[in-house]
A and B are shown apart, each in its own frame.
Chain A
């Protein structure tokens, strides 16, 4: 009779566990059967009524029942916990299509981005960058660059003068003299910066614009070195394997002087001026022109960006409309 009672109790407990719906129910079941006032404890208390020889056996049975019930409880608990977590996570679902928190983010100006690309390309080719002043001396902007006195070449350089000897540089080439008076060849130099010319502002002209200027002096430098360097530079800037074309042009500081174009996306695009550094300039800095020669080339930063991005109005760069700036 007692044996049957314990068996029944176990069967009842296991059934209760099996049908428990949630952790709260399961906890109540645990208390009901295994708690200090629970059914199994009650069974244990009846041990005193048994004959002495039966007591150990009965005790062992109650204990093993306890164990199997608590094992069952534990596995059921794991099962229910998993289920409840799943339900909770399901309830915590959010609309992942709403935008994220709005962090402010600034961008760099397209001219800065272009200068960065120019620098990357030229530094990779071994060019050292130097800066020159925007408020430049007449001597560096013109005289040192082999501009003949009162020459019509000045007509192409409408200049902002501050006084008789100071002006706003019309070209970054003005740096050449500053470098050559301090350094001996060989060298490969480059500079970027702002230039000024008195021009009426329209879609292709501005009184303020930016240039990159590159020059090097070494033994045996020729027009072929210039062409190859321009090809490599233009390929780095515009991508692909661009073709370079020279056309004779005149700049007092180079001889031969050319303007160069690249063949890009099916057409020839004029990029800037170039040539071999005029021997008059090299000689004025004590460089032996029988041993050394050099080349120089320059181009507009705006021009590079306009070609790369199909921008058709130079004025946009200094206007700083946010729609334009955010585009790049």
Chain B
């Protein structure tokens, strides 16, 4: 099939792609976006998580025809406004939420999806939002800390009228 969709705010056209090619293969092998990881074949590890029209999606469960005309956001599209690290990415580093880094892109994507949907999540809600992504290094606690701190920071920025260095890309639907 001929595929037209939007990846990280840029229109992408691929002339010939198998309809059932998975989105993870498409992103990694055709578009070179290797921040989206493969971790299993049983569709359970969540390392390939991306946003499709803003919704958290496992790229291994999604095919080329599923994303026709849609907006896909990967880790490569989740930077702060100036191309710097987003507040969430900074918080991940400050809270020690990154060890081997293999699940980190998916965690960042999942956290952005959560915070856009629910700006004031409880720790339990944060845990549920990342429950689909396996991490073997961190025990999740510092990831939860980082997401909680980001949510606090964004609320404070909003109430004082400032713009937080929120990741801006990929929210268009």
Q: Do A and B belong to a common assembly?
A: no
Binding site for B on A (CB under 8 A): none
Binding site for A on B (CB under 8 A): none
